C-alpha cells in the first residue's frame, strides 16, 4: 500500500446507524459520519451511495478489496478534490447533500483509480484526475442520463479550453489555471479515444488497467497502452496505430488544432488541412508550423445522417494536409467532428457552410442533426469568424435557424458570442443595429419560454434569465418598462436600505437606460448600505452602477467620487471593482481616458506609486479596437510620454495591440453592417 493512500480522521461526527446497506459479499459496508443530519436525508445519501457504488463496481467488473468504506461529511471542508484516503471518502457536507451523484461517483472511483492503483508520481496526477472525472461523468450518464449536467457536459470545459488555448498567451502564467486546463484537456482526449474505439472496448481496457496494476503504481503511458491493446484485440484500431502516440501528440502541445475542409465538388474529393487554432490576434505564436496532431476525421454526411457512428473515416497523421475521396454529391453537406468527438473546431468551404445553414432552417431536417452538433456548428462558425478564418456573413447566416430553435444546449454558446461581438461593436455605428438584431433573435425564444413556473426544469429557468438579461441590455422595450415598474417599487418602499425587491436582471436596464435620478438612488444605497446586510448584495449593486450606464455623466460622477474625492464609503477594493466594471463597455473606458486626461496632474501625483496606477492606465487604453480609439489613446500617450512610470511599457503594448484590433474592425465591421442591414430589411418586410 502506498503511504499516499493511508489516512485517518479524528472528529466529533456521528455515525449513521439508522440506515444499513443491503448485505452483499461483493459490497463493502458503507458508514456515513455526519453532523446529525436528518434521517430522511441520510436515507437519500445512502441510496445514492448504494446506486453509485453498484454501478461503478459493475463498470469495473472488480470489487474493492475492502470490508468497509467510511463516508465522512465535513460541514466546513475547504473545496479541495481528492483528499480521500483508502476506505475513507472525505467530502464537504454541501457536496454530498446535492441532488446529483457526480461528486459521490468521483470520490468512489478514486478508491479504485488513485488509491488501489496509484499514480507513479505527481507528474501522472493530471492523467489520474482526468480519468476519474471522465469516468464519473460516464457513471452519471448511466445512472440518470446525465440529467444533473443540464446539457453542459462536456461543452462547458470544452468551450473554456477553446478560448484559453487559442489566446496569444494562454493562462497568463497562472500555474493553477494551467494545471486545471491541462486536466480538462486530458479528460477530453480520453473522451475522444472512448468515442473512436467504442464504449465497450474502452470499458474493457479500463478493466484491464485495474487488473494489471492493482496494489501497484501506474503511469500515464500504462493507461494509453491498455486501451491500445484492447482496441487492437477488438479490431477497432489499425494495428499500425498506437493510442500512446495519438495521446502524446495532444499532451505535448499546449494548443489545439483547427481542421479546414475544402471540397472539390467536381471530383468528389476533399482536402483536409490542420494547423494551430489561434483566436486572438496577432497570430504570431512561435514554431506553430511544427505543431501537428494525430486527429480522428469522423464524418457525418447529409445522405447518411441516420447511419452516423463515431468510427473515424481516417486518422490524420501528424501531417499538414491529406486528401480524401468518396464525398457526397455537390448538393449535400458534410459535417466533420460531430458531437465534438475531439477538442478541435472545424472550418469548411463557403458552399458547405451555406448548405448547412439552409438545411438547419427547416425544422424536420434540423432535428436530424443532434443538439450537440448544432451547437458545435454555431460555436465554430462564430469563433472562426472572430479569428479571421471565416467571413462574418457566413457565420451570421448560421444563426438564422435560431428563430425556430428551442433547445437550451444549442443556445448555450450563443450568449457568449453576442456579448463578445457586442463589445467589439460598441464604438462603431453598427452597435445599435446589432442590438436590434439581438432583439429579433431573442424575442421569439423569450416568448416561447412563457412565464416562470416553480416546477419547471432548471435549464428553462436559466435560459429565460439569460434571454431576458440580453434583451434588456439591448433595449427591448417591454423589458425596460418592466424594469422601471419594479424599480419604482423599491424607490417608494419605506426602508430602501434594508430591502431590494427588484429582480437582479432588472437592475442593469434601469441604470443603463434610466434617468440620472434613478442611478443616484442606487448610489445612495451604496453609501448607506447596512453592515448587517449581505456584502455580496452591495458588491452586485456597485457592479451594476459602474458597468451598466450608457451615459458619460453617470460614469464620470462615479470616477470623481472614487478617485478624486476619495469618498470614505469606497474601499480600495471598491475602486478596483469600479475600474474593472467601467471598462467592460466602450462608454466606460472612453470616459475613463477623458477623466485621466482632464485630471492628469492630480491622478499622477496621488497614484503613480500605488498599486492602482497600472490598473488605471491599462484600463483606460487597453480596450480600444477602432481607428478613432487608437487616435484617442495615441494622443493621450504623446501628451504624457515619459510620465507613465511602471505603466510605460504597458501603454506601448496596448497601442501595438490596438493596431491589430483596428485591422480586424476595418476588415469585419463593413461585412457585419451590410449583413445586419439586409437582415433587418428582410425582417421588416416579413413582419409587415
Half-sphere exposure of 379 (CA within 13 A, CB side): 28
Give me the chain's average pLDDT, please. Answer: 92
Three-state DSSP class for residue 235: coil
Q: Which residue from 230, 271, 223, 265 is spatially nearest to 248, judged by alpha carbons?
A: 223
How would you classify the pairing of strands 88-92 and 217-218? Answer: unpaired
Instruction: Identify the band that residue 73 occupies on the pLDDT scale cut at 50, 70 and 90.
Output: very high
- Average pLDDT value for residue range 30-53: 93
Determine phi and psi for 259, rounding to 5 degrees.
-105, 135
- Average pLDDT value for residue range 461-475: 92
CA distances in angstroms from 549 to 41, 331, 505, 520, 587, listed in the order given: 46, 49, 14, 12, 8
How would you classify the pairing of strands 14-15 and 299-301? Answer: unpaired
Q: Which residue from 676, 615, 682 is spatially nearest to 422, judged by alpha carbons?
A: 676
- Average pLDDT value for residue range 477-492: 93
Rounded Cα distance, 369 and 373, in Å: 7
Tell me the longest C-alpha to C-alpha distance in the chain: 81
In this predicted structure, the answer to whether residue 174 has a pLDDT above a threshold of 70 is no
575 close to 612: Cβ distance less than 8 angstroms: yes
pLDDT digits (tens, 9 = 90+) for 223-241: 999 999 999 999 999 999 9
419: exposed, middle or buried (C-beta count within 10 Å: 0-12, 13-18, 19+)?
Answer: middle
In this predicted structure, the answer to whether residue 282 has a pLDDT above a threshold of 80 is no
- Average pLDDT value for residue range 496-522: 91
CB atoms within 10 A of CB 610: 11
321 close to 328: Cβ distance less than 8 angstroms: no
Three-state DSSP class for residue 322: strand
Beta bridge pairs of residue 264: 269
CB atoms within 10 A of CB 22: 7
Rounded Cα distance, 391 and 285, in Å: 23
C-alpha cell at 274: 490542420
pLDDT digits (tens, 9 = 90+) for 101-147: 999 999 999 999 999 999 998 888 999 999 999 999 999 999 999 98
| Contacts of 26 by beta carbon, 8 Å cutoff, 6+ apart | 57, 63
In this predicted structure, the answer to whether residue 286 has a pLDDT above a threshold of 90 is no
Amino acid at each position: 500500500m502506498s503511504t499516499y493512500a493511508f489516512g485517518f480522521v479524528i472528529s466529533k461526527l456521528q455515525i449513521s446507524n439508522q440506515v444499513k446497506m443491503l448485505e452483499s459479499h461483493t459490497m463493502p459496508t458503507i458508514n456515513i459520519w455526519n453532523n446529525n443530519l436528518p434521517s430522511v436525508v441520510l436515507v437519500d445519501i445512502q441510496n445514492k451511495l448504494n446506486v453509485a457504488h453498484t454501478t461503478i463496481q459493475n463498470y469495473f467488473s472488480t470489487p474493492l478489496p475492502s470490508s468497509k468504506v467510511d463516508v465522512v461529511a465535513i460541514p466546513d471542508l475547504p473545496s479541495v478534490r481528492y483528499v480521500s484516503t483508502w476506505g475513507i471518502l472525505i467530502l464537504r457536507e454541501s457536496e454530498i447533500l446535492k441532488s446529483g451523484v457526480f461528486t459521490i461517483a468521483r470520490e468512489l472511483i478514486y478508491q479504485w483509480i488513485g488509491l488501489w492503483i496509484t499514480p507513479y508520481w505527481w507528474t501522472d496526477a493530471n492523467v489520474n484526475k482526468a480519468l476519474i472525472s471522465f469516468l464519473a461523468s460516464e457513471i452519471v450518464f448511466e445512472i440518470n442520463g446525465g440529467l444533473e449536467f443540464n446539457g453542459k457536459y462536456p461543452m462547458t470545459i470544452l468551450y473554456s479550453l477553446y478560448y484559453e488555448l487559442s489566446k496569444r498567451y494562454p493562462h497568463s502564467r497562472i500555474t493553477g489555471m494551467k494545471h486545471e486546463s491541462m486536466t480538462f484537456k486530458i479528460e477530453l482526449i480520453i473522451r475522444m479515444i472512448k468515442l473512436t474505439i467504442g464504449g465497450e472496448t474502452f470499458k474493457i481496457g479500463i478493466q484491464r488497467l485495474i487488473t494489471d496494476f492493482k496494489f501497484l503504481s501506474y503511469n500515464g503511458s500504462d493507461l494509453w497502452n491498455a486501451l491500445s491493446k484492447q482496441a487492437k484485440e477488438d479490431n477497432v484500431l489499425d494495428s499500425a496505430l498506437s493510442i500512446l502516440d495519438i495521446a502524446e501528440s495532444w499532451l505535448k502541445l499546449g494548443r489545439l488544432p483547427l481542421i479546414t475542409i475544402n471540397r472539390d465538388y467536381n471530383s468528389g474529393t476533399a482536402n483536409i488541412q490542420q494547423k494551430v487554432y489561434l483566436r486572438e490576434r496577432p497570430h504570431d505564436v512561435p514554431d506553430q508550423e511544427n505543431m501537428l496532431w494525430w486527429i480522428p476525421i469522423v464524418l457525418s454526411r447529409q445522405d447518411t445522417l441516420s447511419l452516423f457512428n463515431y468510427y473515424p473515416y481516417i486518422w490524420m497523421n501528424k501531417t499538414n494536409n491529406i486528401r480524401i475521396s468518396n464525398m457526397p454529391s455537390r448538393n449535400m453537406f458534410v459535417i466533420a467532428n460531430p458531437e465534438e468527438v475531439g477538442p478541435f473546431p472545424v472550418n469548411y468551404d463557403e458552399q458547405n457552410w451555406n448548405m448547412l445553414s439552409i438545411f438547419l432552417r427547416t425544422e424536420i431536417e434540423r432535428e436530424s442533426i443532434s443538439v450537440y452538433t448544432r451547437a458545435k456548428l454555431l460555436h465554430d462558425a462564430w469563433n472562426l469568424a472572430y479569428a479571421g478564418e471565416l467571413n462574418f456573413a457566413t457565420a451570421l447566416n448560421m444563426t438564422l435557424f435560431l428563430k425556430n430553435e428551442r433547445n437550451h444546449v444549442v443556445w448555450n454558446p450563443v450568449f457568449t458570442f453576442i456579448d463578445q461581438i457586442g463589445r467589439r461593436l460598441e464604438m462603431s455605428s453598427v452597435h445599435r443595429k446589432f442590438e436590434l438584431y439581438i432583439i429579433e433573435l431573442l424575442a421569439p425564444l423569450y416568448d416561447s419560454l412563457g412565464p416562470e413556473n416553480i416546477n419547471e426544469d432548471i435549464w428553462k429557468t436559466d435560459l429565460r434569465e439569460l434571454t431576458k438579461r440580453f434583451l434588456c441590455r439591448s433595449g427591448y422595450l417591454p423589458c425596460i418598462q418592466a424594469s422601471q415598474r419594479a424599480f419604482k417599487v423599491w424607490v417608494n418602499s419605506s426602508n430602501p436600505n434594508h430591502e431590494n425587491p427588484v429582480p437582479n436582471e432588472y437592475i442593469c436596464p434601469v441604470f443603463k437606460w434610466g434617468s440620472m435620478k434613478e442611478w443616484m438612488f442606487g448610489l445612495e444605497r451604496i453609501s448607506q448600505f447596512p453592515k448587517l446586510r449581505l456584502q455580496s448584495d452591495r458588491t452586485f449593486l456597485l457592479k451594476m452602477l459602474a458597468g451598466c450606464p450608457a451615459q458619460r455623466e453617470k460614469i464620470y460622477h462615479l470616477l470623481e467620487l472614487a478617485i478624486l474625492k476619495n469618498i470614505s464609503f469606497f474601499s480600495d477594493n471598491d475602486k478596483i471593482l469600479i475600474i474593472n466594471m467601467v471598462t467592460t463597455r466602450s462608454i466606460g473606458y472612453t470616459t475613463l481616458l477623458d477623466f485621466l486626461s482632464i485630471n492628469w496632474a492630480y491622478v499622477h501625483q496621488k497614484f503613480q506609486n500605488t498599486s492602482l496606477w497600472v490598473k488605471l492606465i491599462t484600463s483606460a487604453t487597453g480596450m480600444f479596437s477602432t481607428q478613432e480609439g487608437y487616435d484617442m489613446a495615441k494622443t493621450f500617450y504623446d501628451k504624457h510620454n515619459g510620465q507613465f512610470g511602471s505603466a510605460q511599457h504597458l501603454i506601448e503594448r496596448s497601442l501595438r495591440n490596438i493596431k491589430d484590433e483596428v485591422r480586424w474592425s476595418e476588415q469585419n465591421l463593413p461585412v457585419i453592417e451590410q449583413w445586419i442591414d439586409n437582415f433587418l430589411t428582410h425582417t421588416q418586410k416579413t413582419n409587415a
